[in-house]
Amino acid sequence: MTQVSHWINGEHLTSERTLAVTNPATGEIIRQVADGDAGTVQTAIEAAQQAFPAWRDTPPAKRAQVMYRFKALLERDTERLVQLISEEHGKTLEDAMGELKRGIENVEYACGVPELLKGEYSHNVGPSIDAFSNFQPLGVVAGITPFNFPAMVPLWMYPMAIACGNAFILKPSEKDPTSTLAVAELLEEAGLPKGIMNVVHGGRETVEALLDAPEVKAVSFVGSTPIAESIYSRGAAAGKRVQALGGAKNHAIVLGDADIENAANTLMGAAYGSAGERCMAISVAVCVGDETADRLIESMRPKIAALKIGPGTEKGLDMGALVTAEHRDKVLGYIEQGIREGAELAADGRELVVPGHENGYFVGGCLFDRVTPEMRIYREEIFGPVLCVVRVDSLDEAIALTNAHEYGNGTCLFTRDGEAARRFTDAIEVGMVGVNVPLPVPVASHSFGGWKRSLFGDLHAYGPDAVRFYTRRKAVSQRWPSPFEASHAEFSFPS
Ligand code: NAD
């Protein structure tokens, strides 16, 4: 069985310890991935440190050329990469294609790095004094990524980090690492010097070695909230810059005046696309008024029953399998919990069997009605194809409910009322907000990040915030006095 290797300094390195990688549609172990230790991390750090100075001194326009070629290679290899994503993650080919395209957008943004790093200049801030600020790379920086977007989330990080002049170490998810590695390796063909991009596989031990290493200056993390919080504390305690993006419970508020058929259709994709394994998935529909809830549920039930579910690598499907047996069992556990807590299961996907794939980790679409805020299925992130309907009486109540939740990643309002939409976008305490747009994932020229316990740190991912995250500002004041100016000692602050 092949081992998905580390990739350090342009070399493929294996580990004696490995972790199994499964095809979620069949339940079969298809590969082993190397499980790195502190020694592997140290090898990567040394390679990155050695490669950094020459890359830092490479003009941004030349660094951008690597990104232009990288984009072309990603487009050349799209079909192969999409197959790999789908095979290990379980999502459909079309969805894998979407993820890759959204990832490529970030490479395109990184191509603009000469413009993004232009800096700031003020002439004549004092007698013969000019001031300028420029943005310099940090050195060796690291990224730790989740299973649910094995291509896109790493592409949120390293194209900008590298374009800004840093050397990067990526620790992909151990659940679906092959496409992540395949994408990163294309950088070598794109002309990136060895050691600037490195991939180290593994789990907690690998991550902790990165967090504790003083040579690693910044860490970008995306994953679940408990891990994000611990990464943030441990990394910050070690003196690093950290951005740690966590979990979500995204609410869509549906007003009575909304086009319910349109809301139902878009909620189908937002709740059940990628089997709900998206940090921006809508997992709560807050319906204002009983009639709104009844109409929405009536419209969604037949659509849920008609979901085309199967192995993601087959064409024309709506939804694939969940990523692992453990995760499938966790999702099923939440469904049982919801029933015990008294929510009404209006659509039940638990008994779904995909013929020929009886060992796959499939769960059909589930819809809970009459969910209340104390229930665990409301409070916690399920990360599966389960939509909870909460009934409220007013938009203000819906906003207060959303704001009281510990997560604040994404949200959406369905309405035809502009005043209500404006009130909602002003008052909602969530980082990414949609109006009749259920998955308001910002394009690459804006940054991505939630509020509250969906993000630990100050700067969001990709876009303009990434330039700030992966560089440090240097403010220079320089004076070139005229030989005719008299000089004298000054002992007080110039006033
Ligand atoms: P996860 O937290 O289990 O794993 C994320 C990464 O952390 C992986 O690389 C994993 O190997 C590593 N890791 C796991 N346990 C660790 C530990 N104890 N110490 C150190 N590192 C550890 O997340 P996941 O299951 O891979 O991904 C799903 C989660 O990610 C969901 O909660 C989802 O909402 C979240 N997510 C958030 C965003 C966002 O932008 N906010 C985007 C995608 C996914």
- What ranges do the domains of the chain cover? 3-246+454-476, 250-435
Nearest ligand 1 atom to alpha carbon 144: 9
47 CA to centre of ligand 1 in angstroms? 26
How high is the mean pLDDT of the chain? Answer: 97
Nearest CA to ligand 1 atom 17: 204
Query: What pLDDT was estimated at residue 490?
Result: 82
pLDDT in tens, 235-253: 999 999 999 999 999 999 9
Q: What is the pTM of this model?
A: 0.97
In the structure encoding, which two tokens stand for residue 231, read together? 């990464």
Identify which of 41, 206, 222, 277 to mutate to test ligand 1's pocket (most ligand atoms within 8 A of the CB). Answer: 222
Q: Please state which CATH class domain 3-246+454-476 belongs to.
A: alpha beta
What is the separation of C-alpha 121 from the centre of its chain, rounded to a whole number of angstroms? 34
289 CA to centre of ligand 1 in angstroms? 36
- Angle between helix 395-404 and helix 418-427 axes, rounded to 10 deg: 20
Nearest CA to ligand 1 atom 16: 204
> What is the SS3 assignment for 72-97?
HHHHHCHHHHHHHHHHHHCCCHHHHH
Pocket of ligand 1, beta carbon within 6 A = 144-149, 153, 171, 173-174, 203-204, 207, 222-224, 227, 245-248, 279, 381, 383, 409, 450, 454
Under the banding of pLDDT at 50, 70 and 90, the label for residue 466 is very high
Count CB-CB contacts under 10 A for residue 355: 6
Identify which of 19, 169, 224 to mutate to test ligand 1's pocket (most ligand atoms within 8 A of the CB). Answer: 224
Identify which of 21, 95, 173 to mutate to test ligand 1's pocket (most ligand atoms within 8 A of the CB). Answer: 173
Nearest CA to ligand 1 atom 40: 245
pLDDT in tens, 315-359: 999 999 999 999 999 999 999 999 999 999 999 999 999 999 999
Nearest CA to ligand 1 atom 18: 204
Query: What pLDDT was estimated at residue 493?
Result: 84
227 CA to centre of ligand 1 in angstroms? 7
Query: What pLDDT was estimated at residue 255?
Result: 98
Q: What is the DSSP string of 263-319?
A: HHHHHHHHHHGGGG--TT-EEEEEEESHHHHHHHHHHHHHHHHT--BS-TTSTT-SB
Which residues have C-beta within 8 Å of that of residue 128, sequence separation ≥ 6?
479, 480, 481, 482, 485
**31 in Cβ contact with 21 (< 8 Å):** yes
Catalytic residue among 164, 279, 388, 412: 279
Cross-strand partners of 216: 140
Under the banding of pLDDT at 50, 70 and 90, the label for residue 382 is very high
pLDDT in tens, 46-84: 999 999 999 999 999 999 999 999 999 999 999 999 999
In the structure encoding, which two tokens stand for residue 5, read together? 């290797």
pLDDT at residue 495 greater than cutoff 90: no
**248 in Cβ contact with 255 (< 8 Å):** no
**274 in Cβ contact with 96 (< 8 Å):** no
Nearest CA to ligand 1 atom 19: 204
**286 in Cβ contact with 446 (< 8 Å):** no
Query: What pLDDT was estimated at residue 127?
Result: 87
Residue that wins the pLDDT comparison between 470 and 495: 470
Nearest ligand 1 atom to alpha carbon 146: 26
**434 in Cβ contact with 410 (< 8 Å):** yes
What is the C-alpha to C-alpha distance for residues 464 and 106, in angstroms, rounded to an integer?
Answer: 11
Nearest CA to ligand 1 atom 11: 203
What is the C-alpha to C-alpha distance for residues 328 and 95, in angstroms, rounded to an integer?
Answer: 20
pLDDT at residue 1 greater than cutoff 80: no
Pick from 115-129, 217-231, 280-294: least confident: 115-129
Q: What share of the chain in percent tops pLDDT 90? A: 96
Query: What pLDDT was estimated at residue 487?
Result: 77
Under the banding of pLDDT at 50, 70 and 90, the label for residue 486 is confident
Nearest residue to 191 via CA among 47, 62, 79: 62
Residues in the chain: 495
Query: What pLDDT was estimated at residue 144?
Result: 98
Nearest CA to ligand 1 atom 32: 224
**Mean of the pLDDT values across residues 372-378?**
98
Residue 100: left if φ>0, alpha if ψ -120 to 50, beta else—which one? alpha
Q: 442, exposed or middle or buried, with CB in 10 Å at 0-12, 13-18, 19+? A: middle
Nearest ligand 1 atom to alpha carbon 174: 11
pLDDT at residue 491 greater than cutoff 90: no
- Catalytic (active site) residue 287: no
145 CA to centre of ligand 1 in angstroms? 6
Under the banding of pLDDT at 50, 70 and 90, the label for residue 394 is very high
In the structure encoding, which two tokens stand for residue 76, read together? 């050349």
What is the C-alpha to C-alpha distance for residues 366 and 297, in angstroms, rounded to an integer?
Answer: 11
The owner of tokens 């980790």 is 361
CATH assignment of 250-435? 3.40.309.10
**Mean of the pLDDT values across residues 410-437?**
97
Count CB-CB contacts under 10 A for residue 70: 28
The answer, yes or no, to whether ipTM is higher than 0.90 is yes
pLDDT at residue 260 greater than cutoff 80: yes
Query: What pLDDT was estimated at residue 225?
Result: 98
Nearest residue to 295 via CA among 266, 254, 234: 254
Nearest ligand 1 atom to alpha carbon 455: 41
**Mean of the pLDDT values across residues 213-240?**
98
Query: What pLDDT was estimated at residue 485?
Result: 77
Under the banding of pLDDT at 50, 70 and 90, the label for residue 494 is confident
Please give the biggest Cα pair distance in the chain.
90
What is the C-alpha to C-alpha distance for residues 149 and 183, in angstroms, rounded to an integer?
Answer: 12
Under the banding of pLDDT at 50, 70 and 90, the label for residue 460 is very high
Nearest ligand 1 atom to alpha carbon 211: 20
pLDDT at residue 45 greater than cutoff 80: yes
**Mean of the pLDDT values across residues 179-203?**
98
Q: What is the DSSP string of 412-463?
A: EEE-S-HHHHHHHHHH---SEEEES-SS-PPPTTS-B--EETTEESSS-BSH
222 CA to centre of ligand 1 in angstroms? 6
Identify which of 227, 243, 326 to mutate to test ligand 1's pocket (most ligand atoms within 8 A of the CB). Answer: 227
Which residues have C-beta within 8 Å of that of residue 233, sequence separation ≥ 6?
none
pLDDT at residue 2 greater than cutoff 90: no
Nearest ligand 1 atom to alpha carbon 147: 26
366-369 and 386-392 as β-strands: parallel, antiparallel, unpaired? parallel
221 CA to centre of ligand 1 in angstroms? 8
Under the banding of pLDDT at 50, 70 and 90, the label for residue 481 is confident
